[in-house]
Amino acid sequence: MFTVTLKSSGRQFPVNAGETVLEAAQRAGVALPYSCRSGVCGSCKAILLRGRCEYPRHPPLGLDAHALAHHAVLLCQAVPASDLLLEAREVASVEDVARRQINMVVEHKWRLARDVIGLHLLPDEGEPRLLRLPGQYLDVLLEDGKRRPYSIANSPQADGAIELHVRHVNGGGFTSRVSDSLRVGDRLRVEGPLGTFVPREDSERPMIFMAGGTGFAPIKAIVEHFIALGTRRSIDLYWGARSASDLYMRELAEHWVRELPHLQFHAVISDPDQAAGLRTGLVHQAVLADHPDLSGHDLYMSGPPPMVDAGHQGFLDAGLPEDHLYYDSFEYAPDVLASIIAGRAGIHDR
């Protein structure tokens, strides 16, 4: 057994043999940032100040040569090979939110866009509700032991209601089931809450939100939270999609603009033939064109990995401090990633 020490807070926790730093931290009630848990998105990045780690599960694909040269490690994959001293961000607000598994019933299923289904779930009779923060996600637990993460699109509700926005993926096991055979009244076993993509309220900085496709789901929950709080901080919301009809809740975003004078909404369409008069281009480029200096902002982004990767690099180059960038990248689940790596296919060729 090894001990991990976090330099900034001085907190320490033990790590059992074969356990990752993230798993051990969660067992000890220490909230470190993470999203995909597959070693791809990089949101669990920390700096190793002393000690040695190994990567027996997945290689640290979320670290580039520059990060590796600066002793970065990925906490969701790093297994200590000695005691460690780490420089890592802590997300205190998620610390007290206990994770649990419950059965939920599909109350409503509706089509949001050509390839996006909305699901409204309620806790099954006798089940407690999931306590959670806006922006977190849950895992749907599949019969074969696999899991699929989905962001929760509504802010926490007294009756435990959960809204999901599920995009159909070609060849995808669970999303094909959602499209084809999942019915109202069916039960899904879920575990949550998960993730650290949550509102940061200890800041007065203006906020930029950038969503790609169903990446709108957690951003909807966080924006609704800030609206309910009556925030006076300015909000610029960018939502990118391939076509105008893929912006499946555009009326809601336009409603927020009418409600809040300091909220701006920017729709950005990547296929000029499908733009229906809206702004065209890549959504992260629209953010950068409007905000060439991001040094004074908080930026939240969520959606497909290529968008998150491009935004990550572009926003840091525009002066955004890495500590003010919060994101969820909709990476493939760890089991899919493992088979893709075993088959040597490119994981970002999608």
Ligand X SMILES: Cc1cc2nc3c(=O)[nH]c(=O)nc-3n(C[C@H](O)[C@H](O)[C@H](O)COP(=O)(O)OP(=O)(O)OC[C@H]3O[C@@H](n4cnc5c(N)ncnc54)[C@H](O)[C@@H]3O)c2cc1C
- Positions in 216-235 near ligand X (CB under 6 A): 217
| Phi (first) and psi of residue 334, to 5 degrees | -55, -35
Considering the complex, state which of residue 74 and residue 283 has its C-beta at the smaller distance from ligand FES.
Answer: 74
Give yes or no for residue 43 binding ligand FES (CB under 6 A): yes
120 binds ligand FES (CB under 6 A): no
What sign has the CA pseudo-torsion 332, 333, 338, 343? negative
Contacting ligand FES (CB under 6 A), which of 4, 21, 31, 74? Answer: 74
Which amino acid is located at 247 in the chain? Answer: L
Which alpha helices (DSSP H) does 16-119 contain, by range?
Answer: 21-27, 65-69
Take residue 278 and report the two structure tokens written for it.
């809206």
Residues 6+ apart with CB under 8 A from 171: none
Candidate segments 24-32, 33-41, 104-112, 241-249, binder of ligand FES by CB under 6 A: 33-41
- Which residues are within 8 A (CB) of 138 and not within 5 positions of it... i.e. 6 or more apart? 130, 149, 150, 152, 162, 190, 191, 192, 193, 194
Q: Does residue 215 contact residue 304 with C-beta atoms inside 8 Å?
A: yes
Does 179 engage in binding with ligand X (CB under 6 A)?
no
Q: Which listed residue (6, 15, 30, 40) binds ligand FES by CB under 6 A?
A: 40
Report, in Å, the least distance between residue 11 CB and ligand X: 25
Q: How many angstroms separate the CA atoms of 347 and 40, rounded?
A: 9
**Judged by CB, which is closer to ligand FES: 298, or 328?**
328
- Report CA-CA distances (Å) from 81 to 10, 52, 192, 293: 20, 5, 30, 41
Question: Minimum CB separation from ligand FES for residue 180, in Å?
Answer: 30
Residues 311-330 that bind ligand X (CB under 6 A): 328, 330
CB nearer to ligand X: pick between 236 and 328 = 328
Query: Which CB atom, from 17 or from 342, has the smaller least distance to ligand X?
Result: 342
Contact positions vs ligand FES (CB under 6 A): 34-44, 62, 74, 76
Contact positions vs ligand X (CB under 6 A): 35-36, 137, 148-151, 165-167, 169-175, 195, 214, 217, 328, 330-333, 336, 339-340, 343, 345
